[in-house]
Amino acid sequence: MTKDSAEQKVTRGLLHALAKKHISKECLERSLVLSGFLPDKNAWYTFIHVFFLLLGITLVLTGISFFFAYNWSSLHKFAKLGIVQLGILACLGGVLYKGLDSLVGKALLFAASVLVGTFLAVFGQIYQTGADAYELFVGWFFFIIGWTAISNNTGLCFLSLLILNLAIVLGMVQTGRVDRPWEWCFLFEILCAIQFLPLLVWESFSSRLEWMRVRWFPRILVFALLYFLVFPVMIYIFSRTPEDRQYLSVQIAPLLYGSFTAFLFYFYQYKKQDLSILTMNCIALIIVVSCSFGKFLVDSIHDVIFLSILVIVQASLASIWLRKVWKKWTM
Amino acid sequence: MDNVENSNYSIEMLLTKLEEEKLLDAQGKQEIMASIPSLLQKNSSPWMIQALVALAAWWAAILFLIFAFGTRLIDGKDSMVIFGLLFSLAAIFLKRFLYIPAMKSSYIFVSQLALAASVAGQILLVMGFGAEVKTYTGICLFIIGLEVAMFFAYPDVIQRFASPIIVTGACLCLFSELKLLMLIHALIPALGIAAVYLWIEESWINTQKEALALKTLSYSIVVSMLGVLCLSAIQDFEFQRLFPIQYWWISSVCLSLLLLLLEHRILHSYGIQTLSSFYFFALGSTLVLAALCHNSPGIIGAILILVLGFSRGNGTLMGIALLAFGSFLFFYYYNLQSTLLQKSLILMGTGTTLLLLRAFFLYLFVKNREEQA
């Protein structure tokens, strides 16, 4: 065995491979414990107390919300606003006491951010200003963006982005700007831009900041981006009237999708190694290519067999390539 | 399906430690060291690549069936059975006998083709047999037999994951058809026992030749159990009329007992005595949970899988359990036949109880640490 092999870190996969021929069940179990893959007493302690904490706080907050929902009509308007504001202040007090770095502090800041939305909803209900729902989400986003910036909290980043997306979608739907296919294209392209900027920021800083090393958030962003990009491409492929294709938002859809796909393939293969994102990208590409083939080359039911074969070929090529990439990373 | 994680131990450090603890002899250590370079190169595909393959196979199979029915290539129950049998046998042949290690890339394509053929073949067989027999009981029994046969005959991870789930679904339909819905309270504990056993014996499974098949079965049984438990969360009137399943507390009691046994085993593995304060904490919490959720076995089932997943350090299992737990909890409170005020008090009460339990647990842990010091 080379020195390099001996100094390689133990992986779970390697231990399981050893189990087939070289080590007994008891030896494998002990290896998993020594390597830290099975939890020790401290891990159980953390797991139990964090689980009880998060679940307990969630249930109490939900209970409080239900309580006020029940008594809502009989409360005075100042009481309604005051209670929610008190909740926000109490949460912020807890954050100051526990600190932003603690789990309790992060959970309380998240709760405070949710209560800001509740406050705006109550305000809009009491003072019937005639404002549209999207204005609530816009206000909510701007009120909590400062906390999001300082919180080092992935959950809060996700919440802020979700609120922003809802604000844009509702804004365009409620102002009657999405009716025809090209308008939907335009909306999806704006949503793409909204997800793309945070993705770039996240991936730029993730190697430097510990709290940004989680991968679920950029993966959700990429999933959303692909979802929002594939739809305009589908509109381009399947648009029934030539009129729709005259609009720039429809015409640039394939270009935007192609550029973004190429970017994903390059970035997540050479710069940041993420097999999940590359796989999602391959699935999206298979969908787009197959739909294009189906629309432009399938004229009768007899041609559907070729579409079936095309899907198999694409998936095979994708899985071969993904395996090669993955093996290259794990060597 | 294993999570690829890195330990802080190097291979040499671990083997030396195992030798010190007399779990490995010098010769064994040398053999392992000699085989490490080849083992480092051999890995199975990550689950996401297999998920891509599964999606594509389904899509290809559905397109093929559209073609086959649209062009009247398959026309009538006899042709469905014949083609179904042909495709299934072709899939088994391709998968079992055409593996050539030097042609791994071609094999992936063949494997894809085989999976698509297998899916199409099974759908055709079920449709053909169903058209022949015309009774739900017969169709369910056929599906069970077919999936059991395919589980053993067709050595594919996706097939072996899907087969137990399909068998469970067919069993449920059978119970409904035979008006024996109470048997669901035997099915759930059976699935729970199987899940717990397979995951506790994960290390033993990994030493077996059919390790991959058994591990796939382990995940599949967990998903099947949680799937069946979803029926306990549906309170829709129409659904209740069609599937009048009563006495959910039976499943709750069985799953609670299973959870207690699992906790007992885990506590003992860490050297915690039977009559210690931690033991009573675990016992008490589980009994409180069982009492509160006696009509919602889904919550208990999800917690069982969560504890199982954490004890095995398996993030995938924990993720499945947390998703199930969140859903079951939501439906539990949604389905409560009480006013908003009562629901709010129940929620606040439950939340406060959990926070108090946490405080008590922290106190026990600190006290135990001080005693040991």
Q: Is A31 in the same domain as A132? A: no
The pLDDT of residue B180 is above 50: yes
For residue A254, give the DSSP letter. H
Domain contains A325: no
Chain A contact present for B373, CB below 8 A? no
The pLDDT of residue B335 is above 90: no
Q: Is A122 in the same domain as A150? A: yes
CA distance B185 to B180: 10
The pLDDT of residue B70 is above 50: yes
pLDDT of residue B99: 61
The pLDDT of residue B223 is above 80: yes
Closest CA to B88 of B127, B118, B54: B118
Q: With contacts defined as CB-CB under 8 Å, which chain B residues touch A34?
A: 9, 14, 17-18
* Mean pLDDT within B212-229: 94
Q: Which comes out higher in pLDDT, residue B95 or A112?
A: A112
Judged by average pLDDT, the poorest of B16-20, B32-36, B155-159 is B32-36
Kindly report the number of other CB atoms within 10 A of residue B278's CB atom.
Answer: 18
Query: Of A155, A185, A207, which one is at a domain's C-terminal end?
Result: A155
CA–CA min distance A15, chain B (Å): 9
The pLDDT of residue B195 is above 90: yes
Spans of chain A below 50 pLDDT: 1
The pLDDT of residue B210 is above 70: yes
Domain that holds residue A80: 41-155
Check CB contact under 8 Å for A23 and B24. yes
CA–CA min distance B16, chain A (Å): 11
The token pair that represents B323 in the structure block = 């998703």
The pLDDT of residue B333 is above 80: yes
The pLDDT of residue B45 is above 70: no
Query: Of A155, A175, A193, which one is at a domain's C-terminal end?
Result: A155
Q: Is A25 in the same domain as A109? A: no
Q: Which comes out higher in pLDDT, residue B277 or B355?
A: B355
CA distance A95 to A107: 9
Q: What is the DSSP secondary-structure string of B263-317?
A: HHHHHHHTT--TTSHHHHHHHHHHHHHHHHTTT-HHHHHHHHHHHHHHHTT-HHH
What pTM was computed for the model? 0.78
Chain B, residues 118-137, CB within 8 A of chain A, namely none
pLDDT of residue B43: 54
ipTM of the complex, rounded to two decimals: 0.83
pLDDT of residue B346: 86
**Domain total of chain A:** 2
Check CB contact under 8 Å for A55 and B51. no
**Domain total of chain B:** 1
Q: Is A12 in the same domain as A118? A: no
Phi then psi for residue B212, to 5 deg, are -65, -40
The pLDDT of residue B151 is above 80: yes
Domain that holds residue B5: 1-43
Chain A contact present for B52, CB below 8 A? yes
Domain contains B85: no
Domain contains B11: yes
- What are A27-34's contacts with CB under 8 Å, separation 24+? A27/B18, A27/B23, A27/B24, A28/B203, A28/B206, A28/B207, A29/B203, A30/B18, A30/B21, A30/B23, A31/B14, A31/B18, A32/B203, A32/B313, A34/B9, A34/B14, A34/B17, A34/B18
Domain contains A20: yes
- Whose tokens are 């369910």? That residue is B140
**Looking at the partner chain, which of B10, B24, B105 has a beta carbon nearest the beta carbon of A27?**
B24
**Residue pLDDT, tens place only, A40-56:** 888 898 998 889 988 89
Domain contains B5: yes
State the best of B344, B345, B346 to mutate against chain A, taking most chain A CBs within 10 Å. Answer: B344
pLDDT of residue B253: 93
Domain contains A14: yes
CA–CA min distance A96, chain B (Å): 20
Domain contains A205: no
Q: Is A32 in the same domain as A48? A: no
Contact status, residue B277 vs residue B368, Cβ threshold 8 Å: yes
What is the average pLDDT score of chain B? 86
Contact status, residue A118 vs residue A101, Cβ threshold 8 Å: no
CA distance B139 to B145: 10
Check CB contact under 8 Å for B11 and A29. no
Chain A contact present for B40, CB below 8 A? yes
Q: With contacts defined as CB-CB under 8 Å, which chain B residues touch A314?
A: 56
Domain contains B231: no
Please return the burial class of A151, using the count of CB atoms within 10 Å of its CB with bins 0-12, 13-18 and 19+.
Answer: buried
The pLDDT of residue B1 is above 60: no
Domain contains A134: yes
Q: Which comes out higher in pLDDT, residue A183 or B254?
A: B254
pLDDT of residue A300: 86
Domain contains A294: no
Q: Is A80 in the same domain as A69? A: yes
Q: Is A48 in the same domain as A138? A: yes
Domain contains A59: yes
CA–CA min distance B91, chain A (Å): 14
